[in-house]
Amino acid sequence: MDAAAVDRLQFAFTVMFHYLFPIGTMGLAPFVAVYTWKSAFSGDSGAAQAARFWTRIFAINFAAGVVTGIPMEFQFGTNWAEFSRRTGAVVGQPLAMEGVFAFFLESVFLGVLLYNRRDRPSPLVAWSAVLVCLGSWLSGFFIVATNAWMQHPVGYVMEGDHARLVSIGALLFSTWAWWQFAHVLTGALLAGCMIVAGCGAYYLLSGRERELGRRFVRAGSIGALVFATIAAFPTGDGNAKDVTQYQPIKLAAMEGLFRSSPHAPLAIIGMPDTVQGILVDPIYVPSLLSFLAYGNFSASVEGLSAYPASQWPPIELTYYAYHVMVGLGTIFGFVAALACIALALRKLYEARWLLWALMLLMPFPYIANEAGWMVSEVGRQPWIVYGVLRTAQATSPTVNSGEATFTLIGFAGMYFLLGVLFILLVLREIGRGPSPEGAP
């Protein structure tokens, strides 16, 4: 395996592992803020217990995210020096803004939250929780804006082989950045809601923390239904419209569409065969892809065969990751809808089969979010900056495959230990429960 392939594998591993934790922070931050605010201004003791509980879990996510995020930045210099040399003047600015404006905002006021020892938070603590939520979302925005520039570069000029930023506003306010961020944030909020609902279901099934368990299941189920819907429309649709306009090859790979076609069908399932250029054993919805892409059932959608094979992304990985994301999102919406119906009928808290479903689904929003990022990043290949710089040209010329393999093995070992520690800490907090005495 050549050095470029190992560099890609190492960055893919570290970024996917790291992304597990921002999903948790962005998704749980509003629950921390709402419960803290409610406790501070209404004197709700149950909200105070919930606020402290989710703050502890949020802090574990935050700490793990910081630890795993730092090595990624070093890789820009060690493994991707040519990328940094050519585009650092552009991508460095939003990344610096993330550190200065978002990370410090989130970390400082998280310290205020963790320092709070009183049963009832003060107004200062309540506002701190809101600022922590704002900081976590703002951090996500700057990171996504950087990635969006790599997907659809705007606001720059080329000076030789260097990109120079001429408009930070064009970068931060591009249509791609906002639709992508809206979809990413919605996915994280959906994950947060499923975590809260699943945790509440666990307490109800185990016969403890009944009052808070009901709160968690109710809030999480309603939120999950809302965000599962928003993830499909408008955020998913808006992001897909940008892909259709600016990255049509990615769209064809996502749908397994090998040949250009009017009345293009939407593939529900199927297996892409890149040798024969067909989708094996597909189930189609006729003409639906044409409508979703262009708002016209008879519109022609370009297939992979319309482009040179050298510009194709990895077809199978892009296709399967996309369908995993969509399939899981549909399942989340369906289960959340059932939970909301049962809630309206006042049967949710006694419907053990539905509580089991909510609890067992907790890990799967992470898979859906990771699959979405795989679609975004793998589907962009062979470009690291779309249409500007190929991934094969962006690596560090002085780093060989042996060195990259050695550090990849080191990361795998360290991250395994960190992952085990993270799971043990979170499970310990869930086992302790929101109330000190674990009240029934």
pLDDT, one tens digit per residue, over 140-194 is 999 999 999 999 999 999 998 999 999 999 999 999 999 999 999 999 999 999 9
Is 29 domain-assigned?
Answer: yes
Helical residues (DSSP H) of 165-287, grouped into ranges: 168-172, 175-206, 210-230, 237-246, 248-255
Tell whether 365 is covered by a domain: no
| 102: in domain | yes
pLDDT for 436: 64
For the cut 90, the answer to whether the pLDDT of residue 45 exceeds it is no
Residue 13 CA: distances (Å) to CA of 18, 82, 168, 252: 9, 20, 30, 26
DSSP letter assigned to residue 98: I
Q: Which of 104-108, 207-211, 435-439 has the lowest mean pLDDT?
A: 435-439
Does any domain span residue 47? yes
Percent of the chain residues past pLDDT 90, beyond the cut: 85
* 124: three-class secondary structure by DSSP: helix
pLDDT for residue 121 = 85
pLDDT bracket for residue 117 (50, 70, 90): low
With residues binned 3-state (H G I as helix, E B as strand, rest as coil), the percentages for the chain, rounded to 5, are 75, 10, 20
- Please say whether the beta carbons of 249 and 260 come within 8 A: no
In a domain? residue 142 = yes
Residue 313, pLDDT score: 95
Residue 212 has pLDDT above 70, yes or no: yes
Assign 3 a pLDDT band (cuts: 50, 70, 90): confident
Is 5 a member of any domain? yes
**Domain boundaries, position 98:** 1-168+400-433
Model pLDDT, residue 331: 97
Cβ atoms 155, 384 nearer than 8 A:
no
The mean pLDDT value for 123-138 works out to: 94
Question: In the predicted model, is pLDDT for residue 438 greater than 70?
Answer: no
Residue 167 backbone dihedrals phi, psi, to 5 degrees? -150, 105
Task: Count the domains in the chain.
Answer: 1
According to DSSP, residue 437 is labeled T
Question: pLDDT tens digits, residue range 393-411?
Answer: 999 988 888 888 999 999 9
pTM listed for this prediction: 0.95
Under a CB-based contact definition with an 8 Å cutoff, are residues 263 and 298 in contact? yes
Q: Is 74 within the bounds of a domain?
A: yes
Asked whether residue 40 is assigned to any structural domain, the reply reads yes
Report d(CA 23, CA 188) in Å as an integer: 5
Specify the residue for token string 């550190």.
99
Instruction: Give me the mean pLDDT over the 103-114 stretch.
Output: 90
Query: Percent of the chain scored above 70 by pLDDT?
Result: 98
Residue with tokens 């906002």: 178
Task: Give the model's pLDDT for residue 435.
Answer: 78
